[in-house]
Structure 1
């Protein structure tokens, strides 16, 4: 005995754009909203991503303008192993350096240096306007990559927010259409029953 496979429900693509006597005005409106939603999602993602990347670039440039490099010397030899005196994942170690700021004041501070660097070795440190040692600013290729990554992260988020708004509008239309169908069925249903009962 062979079993007849169940009839598969065929989804007709782009049915809202085709001629169909059952198609309603709300179906056409929904089709345009979905199309506009995809375009707005794409546009919002691109605009937000580019804006975020440019903002990041501006932030890097602004920070670079507030800092300046200083040539300093190690007051003591740097530890030879990263584990001594507190090491970093990049293999560098803490070391004490000395420099003279723009006002002629001699300053000392702890910075990262290569392991085993001898006393008197010169290193470049970055300081702010108050003369404090700060991390080196992001410049060049690293700045470009970070700005691009920022834009790449912001773009899909902005697009998702726009698409979420489109889904809300579409959901409202679907609920409205269902309510219309219910109302029409209340009017047609009883007559349908009378017609089918009279056949035969």
Structure 2
């Protein structure tokens, strides 16, 4: 196709799907491969994302069923806790020593998150598992929804990305095979072509 100087060449869209003398069988195979990769990436990504969200939602619900809030007493001033045992988070909480009563009636101590300015003897609330051990509080409301949505999105993108990567690898192999076929064909044609050019 000829073009005037300075004019941009016309790009034919979806040329692999149209009948034309320049389209090879490998071009059509590549077109189907690209379409299948896109559809599979979309379907598998959505399915994996939804499945991951359901699993995380179930895990959070299980934590809600198997943990319970328990009243406890702060054993030490939060401000006087050792630096190695204090971990501040975004809410300004620290880890300090507390005492609570387990379901079997025994008194237990451990470190739980409390307000940074809390004093020894202050009443606090901790979470216990069925055995009376300290457990983290299950996320609620916006925090729970955020964890569910983010886990679904992360798994969805990862699963879809793996499918796209697989399709790209197969496409690369097809391209390498095409180049090898071109090389072999040129080896057959080149001698006769050279004779015509030099004859």
Give me the TM-score of the superposition, normalised by structure 2. 0.78
Return closer, same or farther for 1:17/1:158 CA change in 2, 3 Å cut-off.
same
Distance 1:8 1:187, change over 3 A: farther
What's the offset of the Cα at 1:10?
A: 6.3
SS in 1 for 2:71: strand
SS at match of 2:130: coil
> Does 2:164 align with 1:172?
no
For 1:61-113, what per-residue CA distance to the aligned partner results, in whole angstroms no more than 9, with x for missing partners? 2223222211223356x34x4xx324423323444433333222233333222
Deviation readout 1:115-168 (Å, 9 max, x if unpaired): 444555432210122212122222332122012111222222212211121122
State how many pairs are aligned. Answer: 190
Q: What secondary structure sits across from 1:22 in the alignment?
A: coil
Where do 5+ consecutive residues of structure 1 fail to align? none
Instruction: Name the counterpart of 2:92.
Output: 91
Q: Which residue of 2 aligns with 1:145?
A: 146
| Matching residue of 1:185 | 186
Q: Which protein is bigger by CA-based radius of gyration? A: 1
Distance 1:187 1:6 in 2: 38
**Does the Cα contact within 8 Å between 2:73 and 2:122 map onto a contact in 1?**
yes
Compute the RMSD of aligned alpha carbons.
2.8
Query: What is the Cα deviation at residue 33 of structure 1?
Result: 0.7
User: Distance between the aligned counterparts of 2:122 and 2:57, measured in 1?
Assistant: 33
User: Structure 1 112/15 Cα, relative in aligned 2: closer, same or farther at 3 Å?
Assistant: same
Measured in 2, the distance between the counterparts of 1:93 and 1:180 equals 68
> The residue matched to 1:131 in structure 2 has which SS?
coil
Q: Is the 8 A contact 2:102 2:133 kept in 1?
A: no
Given that residues 103 and 131 in structure 2 are in contact (C-alpha distance below 8 angstroms), is that contact kept between their aligned partners in structure 1?
A: no
CA distance in 2, matches of 1:94, 1:181: 69
CA deviations on 1:5-27 (whole Å, 9 max, x unpaired) are 89977654322122321111121
**Hey, what's the Cα distance between the residues in 2 that align with 1:95 and 1:178?**
67
Deviation at 1:53, TM superposition (A): 1.7
Encode CA deviations 1:3-58: one digit per residue, 9 max, x unaligned.
Answer: xx899776543221223211111211111111111111122222222222222222
Correspondences of 1:8-23 after superposition (within 5 Å): 12-23=12-23
The 5-angstrom pairing of residues 90-169 of structure 1 reads 90-117=91-118, 120-169=121-170
